[in-house]
A and B are shown apart, each in its own frame.
Chain A
Amino acid sequence: DTGVSQDPRHKITKRGQNVTFRCDPISEHNRLYWYRQTLGQGPEFLTYFQNEAQLEKSRLLSDRFSAERPKGSFSTLEIQRTEQGDSAMYLCASSPSSLLAGKGAGELFFGEGSRLTVL
Chain B
Amino acid sequence: AQKVTQAQTEISVVEKEDVTLDCVYETRDTTYYLFWYKQPPSGELVFLIRRNSFDEQNEISGRYSWNFQKSTSSFNFTITASQVVDSAVYFCALSEYSSASKIIFGSGTRLSIRP
Contact = CB atoms under 8 A, between A and B. Distances in A.
Contacts of B47: 106-109
Contact of B44 (A31, A105, A110): A110
Number of chain B interface residues as a range: 20 to 34
Contacts of B99: 98, 105
Contacts of B37: 108
Contacts of A55: 101
Interface residues of A, number: 29
Interface stretch (A18-26, A41-49, A75-83): A41-49
Contacts, number: 68
Interface stretch (B60-68, B71-79, B80-88, B102-110): B102-110
B7 interface: no
Given A91-B45, A106-B35, A107-B50, A44 B101 contact: no
B108 A42 contact: yes
Interface string A94-109: 0000100110011111
Nearest to B105: A42
B108 A108 contact: no
Interface in A42-68: 42-45, 48, 50, 55-56, 58
A102 to B, nearest CB: 6
A108 B33 CA distance: 13
Residue from A56, A89, A98, A106 with most neighbouring chain B CB atoms (10 Å): A106
B52 interface: yes
Given A41-B108, A43-B91, A101-B97, A106 B44 contact: no
Nearest to A44: B105
B107 A43 contact: no
Interface of A: 31, 33, 35, 40-45, 48, 50, 55-56, 58, 89, 91, 93, 98, 101-102, 105-113
21 contacts: A33-B103, A42-B91, A42-B93, A42-B105, A42-B107, A45-B102, A45-B103, A45-B104, A55-B101, A56-B102, A89-B43, A91-B45, A93-B45, A101-B52, A105-B33, A105-B50, A105-B95, A105-B100, A106-B35, A108-B45, A113-B44
